[in-house]
Structure 1
Amino acid sequence: MSTSFFQPDPNLIKPYALMDLDDTLFQTQRKIDAWSLPTAKPEGLVCATVNKQDEPLSFMSQRQASFFNWLLASTELIVVTARDRSEIKRVKLPFDSWQILTHGAIILTADGELLSAWQQHMHDQLSLLQDKLHQLSQLFMGHSRKYDSQLVFTPHIDNFNNGSVNEELIIYLAIKHAQRDHQALTELAQKLPALVRDFDKDFYVHVNANNLAILPHAVHKRQAVQFLLEHHLDSTRPSFGFGDSIADLPFLQLLDWYGMPNHGQLHEHIRSQ
């Protein structure tokens, strides 16, 4: 067998960069202060997202903006985020490739169109759980009204095509605490399996800071990324990615290389081991 050695090649092949967004590429001012991010003086911040009132909400430090600019120029950047189709519109960054949204339930093409094969697959999975998701929704809405709860409950809903009919389905349920009581959310997550029959069989719970998500097992960033890798991405091109959450780790492990920012849930989890 002959041995070949590396030779520089002027014909560059862009790798795929599969990126989580919030707290990986940008974050709120509150988190900038909590993490003491470098190059994040107010006059140097770059607005990355706006709120529902179109006011600046999340920002990139100068280093993060340079990193994002390098990604745009040197890679094919693929978004992998918990944000849904409405929330992604409030991200004011230029994306021109695939977008995996709503924890993996939605895949958009580079043209912003729904990937029909994935949508039909998700319809088939989610339609089986609508009764239980409605049951959970009624439970939390009733709890909020009866006990003047500090829990802020939001069902995430989208339209899915089963091949002949567009149907509106609940994808997952999100809960925040009005006073940012993270411990209260953690305790709620521990109680959830007792609230609905076969909860663990059908759902998993993700808690990160002031966000608690109740998700069907079929809804996961890893499964959507795997679908893209197997059916739509070029297997000869290298891939890498970044994420800040423990829930990002399963999709990152599908890639050739992966990492995390030096702050956030995944960083703290590894540091504590």
Structure 2
Amino acid sequence: MATPFFKTNPDIIKPYALMDLDDTLFQTQRKIDVWNLPTAKTEHLVCAVVNKQGVPLSFMSQRQANFFNWLLVSTDLIVVTARDRYEIKRVKLPFNSWQVLTHGAIILTSDGELLSTWQQHMYNELVPLQDKLNQLSQVFANHSKNDNSQLVFTPHIDSFSNGSVNEELTIYLAIKHTQKDHQALVELAKKLPTLIRDFEQDFYVHVNANNLAILPHAVHKRHAVQFLLDHHLDSQRPSFGFGDSLADLPFLQLLDWYGMPNHGQLHENISSQ
């Protein structure tokens, strides 16, 4: 049987677009200035995120807003972000599909409901690590009380269930520097394996700009995206995605096509080689 040639088909099958958010689709004014983004004059900016007080915090340039609008209309847009369930509420964009949150520890359905099978899986993974996460939390909580400390420590906690049991569990730990000293965070990351026994057996560390995250190996965007691809997404539909961080690369490599903005950690890493 001869292989047919391509013919256009008016019945469009929407691809899946799996998208990181911060620094991929929007960013703060400080980063807009650093990256000198085009179409980002004040009158062109679109508010994408507000802070805890409801004040605009992160913005899309006109090009980014046009790109996002195209994604919403033309694809099944799936959020893949480090933001947790509380932080995602401050993103003022109309998402209407799956959401992979908290570095992959949480999956929400298109209705905004927790995906129960993933919840139970993550419960089983996180429970054995709670003592070590609490030990690390105590170390950083004590350190941040020091008058000379310029580190801001935040444990990310959410509710997980295992059948009838519903429990608050620590997922990962985040650290920022008040003066946005990236090198100070890099140096801290090098010291972390000495803080508790078998650190590297249970955890990995991700540093990007002014964010340091201490994560269990079970918590990763790649694991959650793989679960969606295997159990919930249509394998006949094409997939593509974008991310700005080295931590995005493993989930992007699961897709048919992937890319990055022309700024940020991933772009800089490739450009330097």
TM-score normalized by the length of structure 1:
0.99
- 1:46, distance to aligned residue in structure 2 (A): 0.3
Overall identity of the aligned pairs, in %:
81
Secondary structure class of the residue paired with 2:137: helix
Task: Please state if 1:217 is matched with 2:198.
Answer: no
- 1:146, distance to aligned residue in structure 2 (A): 3.6
Instruction: Give the aligned partner of residue 43 of structure 1.
Output: 43
Structure 2 counterparts to residues 154-193 of structure 1, below 5 A: 154-193=154-193
Instruction: Give the aligned partner of residue 33 of structure 2.
Output: 33
Instruction: Give the aligned partner of residue 72 of structure 2.
Output: 72
Secondary structure class of the residue paired with 1:184: helix
- Per-residue CA deviations over 1:226-251 (Å, capped at 9, x if unaligned) read 00000000000000000000000000
Residues in 2 aligned to 1:176 and 1:9: alpha-carbon distance in whole angstroms: 50
For 1:244, give the aligned amino acid: D
Secondary structure class of the residue paired with 1:230: helix
- Per-residue CA deviations over 1:1-48 (Å, capped at 9, x if unaligned) read 312000000000000000000000000000000000000010010000
- 1:154, distance to aligned residue in structure 2 (A): 0.1
Secondary structure class of the residue paired with 1:68: helix
Instruction: Give the aligned partner of residue 94 of structure 1.
Output: 94
Instruction: Give the aligned partner of residue 112 of structure 1.
Output: 112
Aligned length: 273
Structure 2 counterparts to residues 15-30 of structure 1, below 5 A: 15-30=15-30
Residues in 2 aligned to 1:148 and 1:198: alpha-carbon distance in whole angstroms: 29
Residues in 2 aligned to 1:251 and 1:227: alpha-carbon distance in whole angstroms: 11
- 1:144, distance to aligned residue in structure 2 (A): 1.8
Secondary structure class of the residue paired with 1:246: coil
Residues in 1 aligned to 2:249 and 2:19: alpha-carbon distance in whole angstroms: 12
TM-score normalized by the length of structure 2:
0.99
Instruction: Give the aligned partner of residue 258 of structure 2.
Output: 258
Instruction: Give the aligned partner of residue 236 of structure 2.
Output: 236
For 1:267, give the aligned amino acid: H
Secondary structure class of the residue paired with 1:224: helix
Residues in 2 aligned to 1:143 and 1:36: alpha-carbon distance in whole angstroms: 36
| Structure 1 moving runs of 4+ over 3 Å | none
Task: Please state if 1:122 is matched with 2:126.
Answer: no
- Per-residue CA deviations over 1:55-88 (Å, capped at 9, x if unaligned) read 0000000000000000001000000000000000
- 1:165, distance to aligned residue in structure 2 (A): 1.2
Residues in 1 aligned to 2:226 and 2:33: alpha-carbon distance in whole angstroms: 36
- 1:147, distance to aligned residue in structure 2 (A): 5.2
- 1:148, distance to aligned residue in structure 2 (A): 3.1
Q: Unpaired segments of 5 or more residues in structure 2?
A: none
Residues in 2 aligned to 1:144 and 1:207: alpha-carbon distance in whole angstroms: 19
